Amino acid sequence: MNIDFVVLLDIYGGILSKGQREALDLRYNADLTLSEIAEEMGGISRQSVNDFIKKGEKRLLELERVLGTAERHKSVTAKLAEIKGMVAEIKKGGNDGRLAELEKALNSIEDMV
């Protein structure tokens, strides 16, 4: 399973055509073969499935290149984890009520992301 396409499909899937979205979902989320996808999509040809997947992947990559939503999400998530680690280290030295408030705020932001 290719996590990058799973994430891109979650973010941009609504922009794809129905066929592209369905074929990519079955490929990356259900991990089906081209033959299995063709059957699930009403008996279309494997070549049609392949076309849906290739065009859908190309569109997802182009959207990410232009918009960068997945990359920003990845960066924010990494930075939040780094800050939470720092808060945990500081808390080891003594419990300050402000640290608990900061940790709560960070958890709230993490839930939003």
The tens place of each residue's pLDDT in the chain, 113 residues long, gives 456 999 999 999 999 999 999 999 999 999 999 999 999 999 999 999 999 999 999 999 999 999 999 999 888 888 888 888 888 888 787 766 777 778 888 888 888 77
- Mapped onto helix, strand or coil, the DSSP state of residue 85 is helix
Q: Are 99 and 91 in contact (CB under 8 A)?
A: yes
Architecture of the domain delimited by 3-67: Orthogonal Bundle (1.10)
Tell me what pLDDT residue 1 has: 46
Q: Give residue limits of the domains in the chain.
A: 3-67, 72-112
